[in-house]
Structure formats: structure tokens, C-alpha cells
Structure 1
Amino acid sequence: MSQYANILIAVDLSDESALVAQRAHAVAAGSSAQLHVIHVIEPLSFAYGGDIPMDFSGIQDEIQAQASQQLSRFGESHGIDAQKQHIVMGRPEVEIHAKGEELGADLIVVGSHGRYGLALLMGSTANGVLHGATCDVLAVRVGN
């Protein structure tokens, strides 16, 4: 098996994200793979379906600012340069695929809670990433 050259780590910035980053580092060990990290912020309008006539822009800006700070600390603690840290807004699986293609990623590493049944039907980011990716995907089991 050839070594990976570009690895995209998709994180939700929870405590479990550290395990996802550790697995990505383990895969990259001994190679010159570039590590990038992405965090996707879902717009509040997605959560409420646009049914609530409120302006969420101030709240959304605050969420973005906090996520940027968290991602910066996360990247620093895992040795990922600032220019390889990406925050985007949208649907996680769509944005992870887009960033993976933009970067020429040959591996995406994402955490998976191993949901099944109704929880899986309600949506799983890891499942969405797996089924739409144009490269390999490593789903790291987290938070059993």
C-alpha cells in the first residue's frame, strides 16, 4: 500500500477530536504526509429550518469566533500549522468532501460514534463522509 500524501482530519472540536487527530498522526508517521484539519459549522438556519423569523447573524458570528479560537488551540496542540486549519460553514459532509477535493486529500480521517438503527437513520457525519468521498476514509471509533 502506498503512503498517503495529504490527510484531512475532520473534527467537531469535542474532547474526542484528540483521538481522531492521534490516529491521523499514526497513519502519517514515517511519511511526509501533509496534515490539514477542518471544522464545519452548521448554520443555525439549518437547525431551525428557517421557520423562526429571527436574525441569527450575531449568534452565528460568535459561534464562528469561538470555533476559530478552539481550532487554533487544537491545531497548535497537534502540530498543525495555522494555514492548514480550515473552518467552513455548511453541511459537514458536503464541506468535508469539498475541502478534501480542493486539497487533493487522499485520506479523510473522521470520528464515528458507531451509531446504528434510528440514530444512524437520523444522520451521521461519518457515514455521509464515507459514502460521498472520492478518497479513502478512516472512521475512528470514539465515545462508545
Structure 2
Amino acid sequence: MSGVVVVGVDGSPSARKAAEVALGLAKSLGGSLHIVTAFDVDRSETFGVGSDEVKVWNSEAAETVAKSLGETRPGVEISYFAARGKPADALIKEAMRLDARLIVVGNRRMRGIGRLLGSVANSVAHNAPCDVYIANTYDD
């Protein structure tokens, strides 16, 4: 069975863990991995010394994770996309656009007060056009 596995990242260790799980699932399914990052406003930070400056945009998180995952497990096609908007909405839209087989999200903010305030995983699980896999991204 093949298909696209979509995962969202934001640069956090929790998101990295979810992306690693998604990569394993994509490989097992004989599919590809599509990494999505969402942002409300495209912000940037400038780093540098003297006249050497590098601008880092928050929309580059998906590209960074995609490249590093591609190096660790070759053989899986990996693509990435940066979308303006809320994370859950971006994941759902990309899954619909790609006719994805699966969306992988981490379980961050699904405990304690986060459950009351809502989480990306909860929103995706209730509105996804495909199956949803909630990866355990807690350290404990």
C-alpha cells in the first residue's frame, strides 16, 4: 500500500519526534513523506558577525527537518511546504491537496490544561480527510 504521509513541524523536539515517526510510517507503507510548517506571520531573524549576515525565516522549519530526515533514512521521497495559517488548518489543507493517506501529529498539549485549550492533534483528528496517527512525543 502506498500514499502520502503528512506531518507538521515547528522546530520543537516534540515535532521532530513526530516527523521521525511519520518517516518510519511512510517507509513501511511504501509511500512518501510531506513535511508541513505553518506560520501566522513570516518573521525572520538576522544572525551574523561583521558584514556576514544570514537571515533565517520561520517558514524554513519544514525544509530544515526535511533535509535532515532525508539524510538519516534515504529511500523515502520527502517533500516540504510552508503554509500561512493555523497549524491544524495547514495540515488538513495539505492532506486534502495531496489526497494523503495519513496525517501524523504529536500529542503535545493533549495533557493537563492543554486539553482544555485545544491542541493541533485534537483539531486534526476531528477534521482530517484521512486517517490520523497521534505519535507519543512526550519524554516520560
TM-score, normalisation: structure 1: 0.74
State the AA in 1 paired with 2:136.
Answer: R
Identity of aligned residues (%): 26
**8 Å CA contact retained: 2:103, 2:132:** yes
- Find the counterpart in structure 2 of residue 69 from structure 1: 60
The structure carrying a bigger strand percent of its residues is 2
Counting matched residue pairs gives 125
CA offsets 1:77-121 (integer angstroms, 9 cap, x no match): 111767x21111111111211111001111001111262453212
- Two-structure CA RMSD over aligned residues (Å): 2.4
The reply to whether residue 138 of structure 1 matches residue 120 of structure 2 is no
Q: Distance in 2 between matches of 1:17 and 1:91?
A: 15
**8 Å CA contact retained: 2:9, 2:35:** yes
The structure carrying a bigger helix percent of its residues is 1
TM-score, normalisation: structure 2: 0.76
Q: 1:112 to 1:67 in 2, by over 3 A?
A: same
Question: In structure 2, the residue corresponding to 1:16 is in which secondary structure?
Answer: helix
> Within 5 Å, which residues of 2 pair with 1:29-44?
29-43=27-41
**8 Å CA contact retained: 1:114, 1:141:** no
Q: Distance in 1 between matches of 2:110 and 2:29?
A: 32
- The alpha carbon displacement at 1:74 in A equals 1.2
Question: In structure 1, the residue corresponding to 2:132 is in which secondary structure?
Answer: strand
Q: Distance in 1 between matches of 2:29 and 2:101?
A: 14
